[in-house]
Amino acid sequence: MHVHVIYAHPLKDSLAAQLHEIVLDELTKAGHTVDDLDLYAEGFDPVLSAEERRDYHDTSINQKYIRPYVERLQRAEGVVLCHPVWNFGWPAILKGYFDRVFLPDVSFKMKDGMLYPGLTNIRRLATVTTYGSPRWRAWVLGDPPRKNGTRFLRAVCHPNVKVTYHALYNINNVTPEMVDNYLKKVRKAMSQF
Ligand SMILES: Cc1cc2nc3c(=O)[nH]c(=O)nc-3n(C[C@H](O)[C@H](O)[C@H](O)COP(=O)(O)O)c2cc1C
């Protein structure tokens, strides 16, 4: 399978960086071809410009600003997001990726007033993430990153897409053993992606 990994963290010595390495390693070992998009390393600009907003609905030209990113996404049969949770959402650079790349005729198609998924090439979708908050507090707040990573993204993929969400909560209060168990869990999940 051709897997597009989308990674968002600025530090090379972070837990997210460690998870990113595991994701790349295990997917490659399992025989997948991997296209790794490291948003910070590539200097991705997350700001939707005035021109892009103006052209957003004009599907004859709306892709011209970010065409290479659209092509990479459209080649993917699987997508893995790897990021920390910031302000109960995606880090800004990743949110901006979706703002700019998930365009009409890319992530969704509109026909007779109805919305249809645009990324039916994607049949496997996974998120690998960490939270500072304990799970109960995230749950009380509706856990928006979990809902975005599972429900919102599911809706734009193939109707039978297999969706998984791997999260370690309460990161400041977990033991080294719990972190280690999470790394093992992610390793196993990626080896079976
Ligand atoms: C800017 C910022 C915002 C954060 N906001 C949240 C938050 O809203 N909810 C949460 O659970 N954790 C939050 N955290 C904690 C991060 O999720 C935590 O630091 C991260 O998962 C640890 O992984 P890392 O070492 O790879 O950065 C925030 C951290 C930062 C730096």
What does the pLDDT look like over 43-57, one tens digit per residue?
A: 999 999 999 999 999
Are the C-beta atoms of residues 193 and 27 closer than 8 Å to each other?
yes
Tell me the CA distances in angstroms from 157 to 29, 91, 107, 133, 167, one per residue in order.
Answer: 25, 22, 8, 29, 21
CATH number of the domain to which 134 belongs = 3.40.50.360
129: CA distance to ligand 1 center in Å? Answer: 10
List of the chain residues with pLDDT < 50: none
Please name the residue that has the structure tokens 């507090």. Answer: 137
Task: Tell me if the pTM is above 0.95.
Answer: yes
Select from 86, 130, 183 the residue to mutate for testing ligand 1; criterion: most ligand atoms less than 8 Å from CB: 86
What does the pLDDT look like over 33-44, one tens digit per residue?
A: 999 999 999 999
- What is the domain count for the chain? 1
